[in-house]
Amino acid sequence: MSAAVYIGNGQVAIREIATPAVGAGELLIRVESCGICHTDLKKIEHDLLPPPRIYGHETAGVVVAAGDGVTEYAPGDRAIVFHHIPCGDCFYCRRRLYAQCPTYKKVGVTAGYEPAGGGFSQYVRVMDWIVRRGVEIIPDGVSFDQACWVEPVNTCLKAIKLLELQDGDTVAVLGQGPIGLIFTMLAKRSGAAVLTTDTIGFRRSLSEQAGASAFDPREGDFEQALRVSTDRRGVDAVIIAANARGLVEQALKISRPGAKILLFAQTSISERIEISGADVCVGERMLFGSYSANVDLQSDSARLVFNGDLALERLISDRVCLEDIQRGIGIAQHPGERSLKVVVHPQERG
């Protein structure tokens, strides 16, 4: 089969490799759509893990083989797969901090080499613990491009649940890339008024279509609008959906005392934030993070995507075949005016 193999130094190359064999309790899935996620981009661009690896984890496709003992899924089933599933019984799982579970940290979907998701290939092997709890069947009438959003929607839904938004709250979402736009849609569904920022006009337009008031952060009207809409208090919650410098500091400035500030895009160990302790302590703000997916929300996130409750396919700006994945990675790393989500179609030829 063909696969886009990360070979180091920020490079991905198309290679012909063996189609993975499946063992007892496992599935082989033909990948039809796989979104390019910024966590994969960071690993490629900054050489965070040793090569060779095959990345890609927002995977939707068709079951083509089932190992011994698999009774719930059969060849021909259309499915999405999560690449992390927790053990359910460790210290962290008992506290529902699933992303900190040692088993969760193991990647359970691979196309070959060290497991890394594998979705940037024509076939993936789904390991037994993922098969047991990490597969969702795609209903008839739902495209693979729509279905591959289930995992990223889950990560955002997890964060929204942690915020515990109240009807009538005012929320600021900083950054309106694909993830920021999902946050905007979910926050609106909670009954909150949403104010958003992004430097790209097309993204602000989509944000407004989702029901938000959108602003260019380089202009002065954003903070003025915040003051007007909140009786000068500041917003009740801030979601930081981008990792530009100064966003955490801005979140503290625009939030009211007692507000919740969610760090979602601050995943680099090299990133440093300098804030006033009094803004958190005296201002009684809650500053916290949310990372990766929540198995308890798997069915809920799948339902949101499959029912069409979120306008997700309009967020796909580019579709590329496997041979053209380097161009797709470049678009995702350096988005243009109308660039948003890039989806890879491994079965198509250039």
pLDDT digits (tens, 9 = 90+) for 218-275: 888 888 888 888 999 999 999 999 998 899 999 999 999 999 999 999 988 888 889 9
Quote the pLDDT of residue 240: 98
Domains of the chain: 2-149+312-345 (3.90.180.10), 154-289 (3.40.50.720)
Distance CA 152, CA 12 (A): 23
Cis (ω within 30 of 0) for the bond into 52?
Answer: yes
Distance CA 55, CA 78 (A): 21
CA angle 37, 29, 320 (to 5 degrees): 40
Considering only CA atoms, give the Rg of the chain.
20
Distance CA 107, CA 130 (A): 9
- Which residues make beta-bridge pairs with 13? 5
Element (H, E) at 327: helix 325-333
Distance CA 285, CA 329 (A): 37
pLDDT band, very low/low/confident/very high, at 320 (cuts 50, 70, 90): very high
Q: In whole angstroms, how far apart are CA 231 and each of 203, 234, 236?
A: 27, 8, 12
pLDDT band, very low/low/confident/very high, at 193 (cuts 50, 70, 90): very high
Taking residues 19-33, report their average pLDDT.
Answer: 98
State the CB neighbour count (10 A cutoff) for residue 336: 11
Best mean pLDDT range from 209-223, 258-272, 291-305: 291-305
pLDDT digits (tens, 9 = 90+) for 175-191: 999 999 999 999 999 99
- For the chain, what percent of residues have pLDDT higher than 90? 91
**For 233, which DSSP code?**
S
Quote the pLDDT of residue 350: 76
50-59, 103-112, 264-273, 327-336: segment of lowest average pLDDT: 264-273
**For 273, which DSSP code?**
-
Quote the pLDDT of residue 225: 86
**Burial of 218 per CB tally in 10 Å (0-12, 13-18, 19+):** exposed
